Structure 1
């Protein structure tokens, strides 16, 4: 499932369309459009220029500007990638993929929204209030949150740590893989109660979150190299890359969870 680092990668893809005029929009599967029909979506965006994309949590926002007879309040395209979505920048002659659902056509190429399972999709907000409503339930972005607010939001209720970190209303952008990686780096068991976290725990969690995201954002995904926990998730004999202890897997908060019993004692 795309998480914050992946969506940062998609943001870099979308930057290739920034300041370019949309010649046309081709909707190959209207099921990925949310709250707007194909014709209205195409009509609204045709001949508009796309602005620099920005990200909040797992959402990508692309503003627009400049078109004949354009509304005073420029529409904003909001993309969510669900379990299998992504963005691709392709030349015009690239073969259409089976899962290319919406194609934005520019003189220099095409920006394609590709999604196999179509669990979420693309929204078109015509007013800023609509943008605010769509993002209203999100907490601060995990890359932007300050340490004090991180600790306050994480410990305001008594709950298990992993579900708290994955709760988008607490902190936006972290998913299953990111959270397992952060907790392993911080040497904290995923089943710990947030009420039991010490100031040292919170400081370590925050520092490791920032460091992990910084490295992952650089490559547009959570790396799966040998020094990362993520690199050992699918091995038949999963071993901790730090101490070589056999890794354990269970479900916490309904999600498959990987941890090291030596580095992350209960």
Structure 2
């Protein structure tokens, strides 16, 4: 599932491979992915424009056109989306088997795409012959003009220590639910939350308002470090705890059996000995 690090990789791919390219054709026929726009509305707005800047906050991306003079294209990867540009891809991490298939297929993230073009949910074709595709088997991604981002809190990778303490360290909600509330802190998903809380040695079920400043500072540092490591290593799935999130899983540090529960409606794993 794409979280902040995977979305940042997709944004960086757009910045690296799609900017300063003129849009020749847009396929916006998937009315669910492109809602609330009618078919042809994104095409009319974007055709002839040039992509000029790629931005991100949390798990949301937007691409400016014509140096900000044109409309903004908002892109969201949903639960399993990837961005493909001329064969390069970033977003939802590939399994080991998919990686092998991609390598055998010359780098394509899913060699079955040609057999099921419906998975190409939104496509921008450039005047130079290349293309940008929102590829999404589960059809939960979005492509929208001029997205409203006002409901998002500060980016989890950029928030200051004082702002983090003020926004996170309040209320009776379980801490994991608090840091995954995108209006409080943008970008923390389920795996990143479990990994960061494990690194910070803080229980996900503690009421957020009970944490002191030292604990909140430690959690912020853990979130930032987890995010940096995941970007560098290729995704949140590379975290130290993540491979142990299973029924027989044990804490990678102390060896204690991990606890599993639903916290904030999400499956959560933690070490009962170290995370208090």
Q: TM-score range by the shorter chain?
A: 0.7 to 0.9
- For residue 264 of structure 1, what is the aligned residue in structure 2? 275
Distance 2:52 2:244 in 1: 39
* 1:54-133 matched pairs, under 5 angstroms: 54-65=55-66, 73-91=69-87, 96=114, 97-106=117-126, 107=128, 109-125=130-146, 131=147
Aligned counterpart in structure 2 of residue 166 of structure 1, from 180, 189, 193: 180
Structure 2: any 5+ residue segments left out of the alignment?
A: 88-105
Structure 2 counterparts to residues 39-54 of structure 1, below 5 A: 39-54=40-55
CA distance in 2: counterparts of 1:35 and 1:174, whole angstroms: 26
Structure 2 equivalent of residue 190 of structure 1: 204
Quote how far apart the aligned CAs of 1:14 are: 1.4
Q: State the TM-score, normalized to the length of structure 2.
A: 0.84
Per-residue deviation, residues 95-114 of structure 1 (Å, max 9, x unmatched): 53441111111215211001
Indicate how the Cα distance of structure 1 residues 27 and 230 shifts in structure 2: closer, same or farther if over 3 A, else same: same
**Are the structure 2 counterparts of residues 64 and 220 from structure 1 closer, same or farther at C-alpha, using a change threshold of 3 Å?**
farther
Whether the 8 Å CA contact 1:28–1:100 is kept in 2: the answer is no
**Partner Cα distance (2:237, 2:129) in 1:** 31
- Secondary structure of the 2:261 match is strand
Q: Please, which runs of 5 or more residues in structure 1 have no aligned partner? A: 67-71, 126-130
Deviations 1:135-154 (A, max 9, x none): 11110011110001000001
Alignment of 1:220-235 (within 5 A): 220-224=234-238, 228-234=240-246
> How far 1:28 sits from its partner (Å)?
4.8
TM-score, length-scaled by structure 1: 0.87
Q: Is the 8 A contact 2:176 2:205 kept in 1?
A: yes
Q: Larger deviation: 18-27 or 187-196?
A: 18-27
Do the aligned partners of 2:171 and 2:207 also contact (CA within 8 Å) in 1? Answer: no
Cα pair distance change 1:219/1:22, threshold 3 Å: farther
Q: Tell whether the 8 Å contact from 2:42 to 2:144 is kept in structure 1 after alignment.
A: no
Paired position in structure 1 for 2:165: 151
Q: Secondary structure at the match of 1:210?
A: helix
Give 1:203's aligned residue: 217
CA RMSD in angstroms comes to 2.1
Residue 85 of structure 1 and its aligned partner are, at CA, apart by 1.6
1:43 Cα deviation after fit: 1.6
Aligned length: 250
